[in-house]
């Protein structure tokens, strides 16, 4: 079946036909951000996750409820973070209870740092599979491998394929040599710059603060056709990131905040279910969301100037201009530009150095 024909099928049928890994690109994703804490602190992390973030994770009750809400979107749903495996027993219990209602996540994301031996890796994958999880996404790139050595990543992939099946593992079969090469890249400023320029991240969150040094600033007019969060249409506005049909991903965090681009809170899953927000349109109730929906981050820049921000003439990227304006505006609009974990990058850097 062609991609478009598959897209019209319910998500579970698509997964049955093509596996979790391919289904992600066909049905797109919806996730529970279990926590902003992580075992590591990747330089490109858009959500600014790290070991120094507060010990906050989703409650059991909310976790099960948000799984119900995510399932209703007919997307491929998953548990992301942060690194949810830091709270393994709590995550497992949520999956088990959600599974009783047919709402278990289809997969979870991990950096593999917990795969310290074969026993733990095999046991946890088996327990999660018994709790209804069908697959896993395992990261591998220079930013992750700065902190995660090749052995756990190799172990994570080997056991994932064994237990979930290759079609349900969204990960490359990266060799020991390639993983070691990734580590060398991140240790070398020149190589890291080259890698970053060939794999351009959105320059927000930690990436917006620590990777911008590799990019040239460009005049505002030139930024208007920059790719959006997930590529999308090259338009001045950011409609495709906030349109329920078009958006690549949608998240609910441990506080119930609904987000697509990280750091812009577009709804509250405690107030009404995610599907209702999606049907209504996220820009309808919130003027700040409407501004970026209609006119991209240029309206944020103008608003920030009204509040006293001194704009630069040039920024390296449209999303980075958005990030800089939002950081300035956050104290005035914390209910939309939040949560604190994403914006408090200075605190993160200081703790990282101590
Ligand atoms: S990118 Fe993933 S693994 Fe890296 S710090 Fe962020 S949440 Fe953790
Ligand atoms: S410019 Fe801002 S709102 Fe638009 S896609 Fe980038 S981060 Fe999201």
In a domain, 338, yes or no: no
- The yes-or-no verdict on residue 348 having pLDDT over 60 is no
- Report the pLDDT value the prediction gives residue 350, as an integer from 0 to 100: 55
Sign (positive or negative) of CA dihedral 31, 37, 43, 46 = positive
Q: Is the CB of 137 under 6 A from ligand 1?
A: no
SS3 170: strand
* Phi, psi values for residue 138, rounded to 5°: -120, 125
- Of 24-28, 39-43, 234-238, 300-304, the poorest mean pLDDT is in 234-238
Closest alpha carbon to 348 in 7, 51, 98, 24: 51
- Report the pLDDT value the prediction gives residue 354, as an integer from 0 to 100: 41
Q: What is the pTM (predicted TM-score) of this model?
A: 0.95
pLDDT tens by residue, 43-86: 999 999 999 999 999 999 999 999 999 999 999 999 999 999 99
pLDDT tens by residue, 27-41: 999 999 999 999 999
- Report the pLDDT value the prediction gives residue 234, as an integer from 0 to 100: 74
In a domain, 81, yes or no: yes
Residue 237 alpha carbon to ligand 2 centre in Å: 9
Give the E-state strand segments of the chain in sequence order.
Answer: 29-33, 76-80, 107-110, 135-138, 169-170, 218-219, 249-252, 257-259, 265-268, 314-315
In a domain, 36, yes or no: yes
* Average pLDDT in the chain: 94
| Cα 162 to Cα 243: distance, rounded to the nearest angstrom | 38
Q: Are strands 135-138 and 257-259 parallel, antiparallel or unpaired?
A: unpaired
- The secondary structure of residue 172, as a DSSP letter, is -
In a domain, 224, yes or no: no
In a domain, 166, yes or no: yes
Q: Judging by beta carbons within 10 Å of its beta carbon (0-12, 13-18, 19+), is residue 118 exposed, middle or buried?
A: exposed
- Report the pLDDT value the prediction gives residue 226, as an integer from 0 to 100: 84
Both tokens of 308, joined, read 């006293």
The CATH number of the domain holding residue 3 is 3.20.20.70
Q: What are 267's strand-pairing partners?
A: 258
Q: Do 20 and 104 form a contact (C-beta atoms < 8 A)?
A: no
| Cα 44 to Cα 204: distance, rounded to the nearest angstrom | 9
SS3 30: strand
pLDDT tens by residue, 111-141: 999 999 999 999 999 999 999 999 999 999 9
- The yes-or-no verdict on residue 233 having pLDDT over 70 is no
Q: How many domains does the chain have?
A: 1
Residue 82 alpha carbon to ligand 1 centre in Å: 6
In a domain, 266, yes or no: no
Pocket test for ligand 1, best of 32, 36, 40 (most atoms within 8 A of CB): 40
Q: Is the CB of 111 under 6 A from ligand 1?
A: yes
Residue 4 is part of which domain span? 1-172
- Report the pLDDT value the prediction gives residue 230, as an integer from 0 to 100: 72
- Report the pLDDT value the prediction gives residue 5, as an integer from 0 to 100: 87
Q: Kindly state the helix (H) or strand (E) to which residue 289 belongs, with its residue range.
A: helix 287-295
What percent of the chain has a predicted confidence (pLDDT) above 70? 97
In a domain, 220, yes or no: no
In a domain, 277, yes or no: no
- Report the pLDDT value the prediction gives residue 12, as an integer from 0 to 100: 98
């Amino acid at each position: 079946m062609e991609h478009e024909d598959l897209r019209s099928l319910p998500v579970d049928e698509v997964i049955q036909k093509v596996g979790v890994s391919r289904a992600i690109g066909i049905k797109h994703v919806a996730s529970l951000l279990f926590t902003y804490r992580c075992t590591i602190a990747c330089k490109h992390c858009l959500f600014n996750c790290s070991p120094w973030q507060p010990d906050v994770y989703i409650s059991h009750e909310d976790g099960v409820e948000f799984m119900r809400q995510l399932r209703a979107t007919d997307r491929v749903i998953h548990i992301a973070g942060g690194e949810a495996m830091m709270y393994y027993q709590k995550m497992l219990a949520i999956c088990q209870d959600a599974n009783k209602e047919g709402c278990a996540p289809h997969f979870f994301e991990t950096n593999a740092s917990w795969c310290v031996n074969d026993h733990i890796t095999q046991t946890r994958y088996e327990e999660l599979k018994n709790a209804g999880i069908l697959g896993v996404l395992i990261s591998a790139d220079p930013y992750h491998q700065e902190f995660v050595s090749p052995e756990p990543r190799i172990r994570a992939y080997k056991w994932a394929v064994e237990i979930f099946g290759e079609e349900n593992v969204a990960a490359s079969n990266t060799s020991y040599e390639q993983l070691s090469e990734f580590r060398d890249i991140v240790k070398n400023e020149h190589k890291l710059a080259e890698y970053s320029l060939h794999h351009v991240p959105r320059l927000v969150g930690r990436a917006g603060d620590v990777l911008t040094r590799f990019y040239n600033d460009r005049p505002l007019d030139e930024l208007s056709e920059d790719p959006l969060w997930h590529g999308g249409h090259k338009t001045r506005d950011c409609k495709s990131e906030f349109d329920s049909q078009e958006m690549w991903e949608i998240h609910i965090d441990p506080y119930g905040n609904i987000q697509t681009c990280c750091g812009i809170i577009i709804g509250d899953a405690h107030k009404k279910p995610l599907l209702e927000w999606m049907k209504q349109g996220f820009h309808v109730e919130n003027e700040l969301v409407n501004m970026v929906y209609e006119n991209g981050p240029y309206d944020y820049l103008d608003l920030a100037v009204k509040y006293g921000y001194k704009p630069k003439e040039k920024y390296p990227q449209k999303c980075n201009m958005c990030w800089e304006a939002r950081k300035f505006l956050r104290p005035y609009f914390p209910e939309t530009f939040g949560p604190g974990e994403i914006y408090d990058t200075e605190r993160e850097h200081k703790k990282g150095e101590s």
